[in-house]
Structure 1
Amino acid sequence: MSFPVSVWYGVGSVTPPFNEETIRRDLNNIKDAGFKYVRGWVNWRDTEPRPGEYDFSSVENLLRVAGDIGLKVILQVYLEFAPDWLPRLHPDSLYVSESGNTIMPQGSPGVCLDNPGVRARAEEFLRRLAQVVVKYPNFYAWDLWSEPNVIQWIYQPTGWRGLFCYCNYSKGRFRDWLRTMYSSINELNKAWHRSYLEFNDVEPPRFVSLHFARDNIDWLTFNIAKLREDLEWRVKVIRSIDSSHPVVSHSHGGTSVFSNPLFGEPDDWEMASVVDAWGTSFYPKHAGRVKPDHVLDALVLDAARSAASASGKPYWIGELQAGQGVGGFKATEPVTPDDVALWMWQAIAHEAKAINIYHWYPMMLGFESGGYGLINPDGTLTDRARRAGEVAKVIYENSDLLLKAKLINSDVAILYNIESYKWLWIAQRHSSDVLSRSILGVYRILFNSNHNVDLVSIRQVENGLISRYKVLVAPLSLVMTPKAALSLRDFVSNGGLLLVDSRFAAIRNDGYIDSCTPAYGLSEVIGGCEDGYVSVDKVSLRITNDLIPGLKVGDLIIGSNYVSWLNSKAHEVGVSELNLDKPSITINDYGNGKAVYVGTSIGLSYEVNGPDSGVGKLVNGIIGMAMVQPPVEVKSTKQGYVEVRVLKSGIDHLLFIINHSYNDQLVKVRINENVLNVGNALIKDLVTGASINIINNEVQLTLKGRQVVVGLVSR
């Protein structure tokens, strides 16, 4: 079985329509560059130009020509680019915002599929498409939803984007969902503080009311569930015709860790549960980025891997950036051939099982014109295209090895708590940055210490699926559920180490605060209740007891966002400058494990204040308390820019050494003998074919800027 590496080829979508001669030339160039797969577009609008009249000639032409040349085809299906006649036949299918504005589509975002008439037409289109496509032996896989959203994100209004969808059918679907959540209208009235007579009277919330919360939480919970159900519906429709080809989908913005569900974004963990593989868009030099950040990129990859893995699925790179990021008047620094090669290998080092490079041509019209292409607008190849093809050849040659490769299990996990993300609306925060940067900061500390890290969702916590970890970090986890609280008790009692920070479990999932923070009795786990907290830009916490390895009495930890303190019987480790009488850092023994409380936002502080904050020392010391060691130790000329990953593939191992800097680096890697004990050995670099010595479980070499080594350690 071949490891799929494709390039997107959107003829007539992001390029002008091409004739067959040009298409054949392009596909031959794709094949000659080294690729075995091409990824085509299918827009509903283009293939059903009139109601009930289908024209799949462009799809069939791509499949036929690709088959002649020897390329397999992955198809991306867009229901969001819907026929323009739909609003005429179904005027009640238009998206409606929270303010009552209807959205007349302009090519996108289509119409609301909650309308039963529109959904029936979409279903018929998918069936007709599948009946045509399955006849072609070179067809490989479906991607049924590119970057899912309640309303397609390509919709770019002037001003406020709005919340969606408040059409009558979406409201009806919400009311049906509420009937499954509440036993009666009286129960809903009690939870929402309302006086509805029946469910058909219920209106979804359109704004935040100062003293209410449950209605807003329910609306977001419904929309997250709706996205999963809609993806599952697409899969079932295709599966009714085609039971053999993989069905996947991929997220927008890299991962839901960086998304606010208020604006119709899904939960990756929910979406991954209903497809054969879950994917992500991977744009390290996107026009929307302030600057490249290889650690953020690694988090995106690990989040996608973790979300898919939670349902026992592989993850794919649905889109990997091919060329310069362009957005309107903004253009990022150029993408080099080494960049594309590094990103491909970095994805595989984080366990990706397919790569789809976006796009063969640059965007040739619209907001992104001139950006994101692997070749020149005239169809001639660039060095980026040649280099990407060369990497694809190496991947194909080692497909079996790479498809079986799994990261060495992590002992450390970070909690992705979707319940806290829902609270952003109540807190009147439109950006997810305060939560996403809290996760990123903790991840950055662990990345720089060479730990493999998983992200676990609160649903996994609720289901008791965290017992294999030694350490769970819950950064800025404001909201808690009763099931998760019970599971966290068990985790710590059975020997785990739980690290939490300020405002941990301050809000119950019904929207209320509890009699004590943290809620649901978790004060017993951390050894006390929060006695007070204050919002701060910057605060100092002083270590008062040397109970954490690497920290001594008098050391300072610089905090951000919050500072808080406890009424606690736990072991005091530190106090804040705002309250010297009560501890702000504690360690509590609970059962066979420990809970560590830090009264500030640790991840956010590391992102704001950097390594000099002392937060890195604090977190690494706490990880050391659990006797967790990273798989490797890395020393390099420029610390923090060399990433090393060890993967196991059958009886063999793969050692990925990635130089993220643009400068040469002298690198020394010591492999933890508990992970892989090879002593003295000669390993082969799959990228160059060169041999590399391992001496006493150490590798020492000089890497050029942006160089990647993929060392095969054979038994």
Structure 2
Amino acid sequence: MSKELNKPILGTVYMVEENLTIERQFKDLENIKSKGLNTIVMWPPISPWDSKDGVSIAFDTVDKIMDKCDQLDLDVIVELEGQNPSFQFAPDYAYKAEHTTVSDRARHWVNYYHPEVKEAMKKYIQQIAHHYKDHPALLGYDVFNEVNFHSTDTYTEKAFRTWVEKKYKSITDLNKIWKRFYTEFDQILIQNFSFNYSKWSSLRHLLDFEEFRADSIQNFVKQWGDTIREIDDEHLIIADNSWSMTTFDTTILGNDDWKISSVVDSFGLSVYPQSWDVRLREDPCSIAQIYRGGISAGNDYSNKPIIISELQTHNQTALSKGSSVFDEIKLWTWQAFTHGATGLIYWKWNPFTSGFQVSGRGMTSSDGTPNQRADQAKECADILNEYPAYFVNRKVYNNEVYILYNPECDRFSDMVLPDDPNAYRNAIAKWYKHLWLKGLQPRFIKPEEINNLNVTKDSIIIAPFLSMVSQQTSLDIKDFIKKEGNMIVDGRFAIIDENGFAYEEAPGNLMDVFGYKEDDYLSPHIHDEITFDRFSKVHLTNGTSTLNTSDGDPIMVKNKNTLYLTIPFGIDKEYAPITDAIDNFIDNHLNKSILVTQKSAETDVVITHGKGLMISVVNYHASETEIRVKVNKKGQLKNLTKDIICHLTDNMVTIVIPGRDIACVVIE
């Protein structure tokens, strides 16, 4: 490919608009360049208002934008799908009622499974690729921005039946697992899935539909990318999800980060820390988890470069409350590159000029004058532009610590906990924060990755609130432990298999590994001065109890290189003896060749390998802070950031960072 990501990308979405003069838009592009940005994501990719009839495909204005970008040495990512489809492949004059999704949660009204929509999309993508493939400013195509799909129409239902038949092969096997009585796969009706007594017998059909949605989105992205590659195999294919699936409900959009990253050249995330009822402005840990989750799914799993495809710039809407952005652009931006992102795109350059978000977002005033948010972006751009080779092909150092994330268990937990729908993700977040506060940056893995890990005696997997464990995962866990890996599990661990059937003995097929058998589940359970919200009553098999309740029930079970907690640590009450035991277990098994030894709760510290050993710090606190990192590498300490005190003495790096600032040093 002619334009690989051999330098860091820092850019902005630029909406080409009919109501702005071309002179104004050229000035915008010049301002973007003056702030050190090197890329725009251009949408829409066509300018139908230029056509003779005002509605057909035309390229006059967008071509002028492309040519101006080439003149300014700005790269362009052309965005094909993910915004208003009327500007893309589904103009209103060609739209039919039957093209509509049947859904209570779809973001887009166009049904990708409808055969006429499929053909329209293919033709549209071919036109775009043929038109742009030889343009010198082109970097790539974002084929699907903020991937999502949900519909229960007849075309989608037909595709789902085909998916189900491929999975189960036999209608008898399907009936046994779904607890149904079909004679043919064509009898499956999605409409009756959500009724109470449909869910009462089994949840597998609902879990299958969610998995089908994720597979559908993956297939759409692959098909659209393949259509481009038949015409242009020189430029990047990109698709992006919203947030990280480790942090937000996947059933809203139907996304799967791991699946999307496997079929593109570069994987992206949209991140809005202060929008849509999300308030993470002063929460460096939660933002770190979003970035870390995306990096785990893309860079670590698929070995694909990660781009933060949309980062919030300012207010959600003209009249919204609490969504303003002040000095956070610099912190959020640097935190992304700190975690190994190769690129970041701001949403967006100009504020909206119309619609629901009119005057919202943007790095300029309404007349196009860049503001303080653009200035913050320039501070980051100056570093990236001066040292580009240091910010590509980086891998986060995770001290061989992993958090096991199971999307199916995530969805299952939401289904059986309608009054506490975020319990599984809250458990994941609490464990991540516990490790993050120690300066550790665990990698998130899905169950199928366990068998591919390079296991050593220092490897640690933590499996929060993992009630659903498949037969295959049980075997992989056994093999991991046999290779001297270490594991912490908690709560009602491995009580059901992948089809939602309860194991007769829990933890399923793993009693010899973890040293206990579950006898009962109690909520609440009173222990001396504390009452646990959820408690698994167990008896020991070949494990040892290291902490008991006042009536003698084990709270923690140790067995060789495993630790089991009878309460779900991530969502139950804090209890010092449990926390201490966790810390002791981690400390005894942790790979400490490189180790953060001092940090504050307001600083994100990330160590990455690439060109040199890089230590990056983002300080959210208003005051100066000092961090220390023990390293295993000798060499020269190079400071990539200004006004930062740092030194390397006896394998200890000390960095002093001013309040609300960033630091980046490299040992070469």
TM-score by length of 1: 0.85
1 CA distance for matches of 2:212 and 2:168? 13
**For structure 1, which segment, 26-35 or 281-290, has the greater mean C-alpha deviation from structure 2 after superposition?**
281-290
**One-letter code aligned to 1:216:** L
Secondary structure, aligned partner of 1:35 = coil
Deviation at 1:425, TM superposition (A): 5.2
After superposition, where does 1:317-356 map in structure 2 within 5 Å? 317-326=308-317, 329-336=320-327, 339-356=328-345
Secondary structure, aligned partner of 1:533 = strand
Aligned position for 1:671: 630
In the superposition, relative to structure 1, how do residues 540 and 574 fare at CA in structure 2: closer, same or farther (>3 Å)?
farther
**Among candidates 297, 304, 307, match of residue 313 of structure 1:** 304
In the superposition, relative to structure 1, how do residues 212 and 131 fare at CA in structure 2: closer, same or farther (>3 Å)?
same
Deviation at 1:324, TM superposition (A): 4.0
Aligned position for 2:213: 223
Secondary structure, aligned partner of 2:493 = coil
**Among candidates 639, 650, 662, match of residue 685 of structure 1:** 639
**Per-residue CA distance 1:96-141 (angstroms, 9 max, x = gap):** 137xx9x8xxxx6231010011111111100100111112111112
Aligned position for 1:96: 102
**For structure 1, which segment, 58-67 or 299-308, has the greater mean C-alpha deviation from structure 2 after superposition?**
58-67
Secondary structure, aligned partner of 1:280 = strand
**Among candidates 604, 616, 624, match of residue 656 of structure 1:** 616
Deviation at 1:572, TM superposition (A): 0.4
**Per-residue CA distance 1:8-50 (angstroms, 9 max, x = gap):** 11133xxx73111111111111111222212211267958999
**One-letter code aligned to 1:447:** W
In the superposition, relative to structure 1, how do residues 179 and 619 fare at CA in structure 2: closer, same or farther (>3 Å)?
same
Deviation at 1:613, TM superposition (A): 4.9
2 CA distance for matches of 1:446 and 1:283? 24
Aligned position for 1:600: 567
Aligned position for 1:138: 137
**One-letter code aligned to 1:58:** T
After superposition, where does 1:407-446 map in structure 2 within 5 Å? 407-424=396-413, 426-429=415-418, 432-446=421-435
Aligned position for 1:203: 189
Deviation at 1:64, TM superposition (A): 1.4
- 2:465·2:489 contact (CA, 8 Å) conserved in 1? yes
- 1:668·1:698 contact (CA, 8 Å) conserved in 2? no
Deviation at 1:86, TM superposition (A): 5.8
Aligned position for 1:155: none
**One-letter code aligned to 2:589:** A
- 1:686·1:710 contact (CA, 8 Å) conserved in 2? yes
Q: Find out whether 1:641 has 2:602 as its counterpart.
A: yes
Aligned position for 1:9: 14
- 2:16·2:62 contact (CA, 8 Å) conserved in 1? no
Deviation at 1:185, TM superposition (A): 2.2
Aligned position for 1:42: 44
After superposition, where does 1:222-241 map in structure 2 within 5 Å? 222-241=212-231
1 CA distance for matches of 2:363 and 2:337? 20
Deviation at 1:626, TM superposition (A): 1.4
- 1:654·1:713 contact (CA, 8 Å) conserved in 2? yes
**Among candidates 468, 476, 492, match of residue 481 of structure 2:** 492
Aligned position for 1:566: 538
Deviation at 1:711, TM superposition (A): 1.2
The count of aligned residue pairs is 651
1 CA distance for matches of 2:565 and 2:71? 62
**For structure 1, which segment, 261-270 or 449-458, has the greater mean C-alpha deviation from structure 2 after superposition?**
261-270
1 CA distance for matches of 2:113 and 2:490? 41
After superposition, where does 1:127-276 map in structure 2 within 5 Å? 127-150=126-149, 164-204=150-190, 205-208=193-196, 209-252=199-242, 254-276=243-265
Deviation at 1:617, TM superposition (A): 2.8
**One-letter code aligned to 2:122:** E
Deviation at 1:415, TM superposition (A): 0.5
1 CA distance for matches of 2:146 and 2:557? 42
Secondary structure, aligned partner of 2:37 = coil
- 1:11·1:17 contact (CA, 8 Å) conserved in 2? no
**One-letter code aligned to 2:562:** A
Deviation at 1:576, TM superposition (A): 3.4
Secondary structure, aligned partner of 1:96 = coil
1 CA distance for matches of 2:45 and 2:74? 21
**Per-residue CA distance 1:622-657 (angstroms, 9 max, x = gap):** 212314337333435xx312232222224x222213
- 1:440·1:603 contact (CA, 8 Å) conserved in 2? yes
Aligned position for 2:667: 713
1 CA distance for matches of 2:280 and 2:250? 25
Secondary structure, aligned partner of 1:26 = helix
Deviation at 1:703, TM superposition (A): 2.2
- 1:80·1:111 contact (CA, 8 Å) conserved in 2? no
Deviation at 1:467, TM superposition (A): 2.8
2 CA distance for matches of 1:277 and 1:129? 19
**One-letter code aligned to 1:239:** R
**For structure 1, which segment, 76-85 or 704-713, has the greater mean C-alpha deviation from structure 2 after superposition?**
76-85
Deviation at 1:465, TM superposition (A): 3.4
- When the two chains are superposed, the root-mean-square deviation of aligned CA atoms in Å is 2.7
2 CA distance for matches of 1:8 and 1:332? 19
**One-letter code aligned to 1:202:** I
Percent identity, aligned pairs only, is: 22
In the superposition, relative to structure 1, how do residues 286 and 182 fare at CA in structure 2: closer, same or farther (>3 Å)?
same
Secondary structure, aligned partner of 1:210 = helix
- 2:13·2:42 contact (CA, 8 Å) conserved in 1? yes
1 CA distance for matches of 2:345 and 2:20? 22
Consecutive unaligned residues in structure 2, runs of 5 or more: 1-5
**Among candidates 522, 528, 531, match of residue 534 of structure 1:** 522
1 CA distance for matches of 2:341 and 2:171? 47
TM-score by length of 2: 0.91
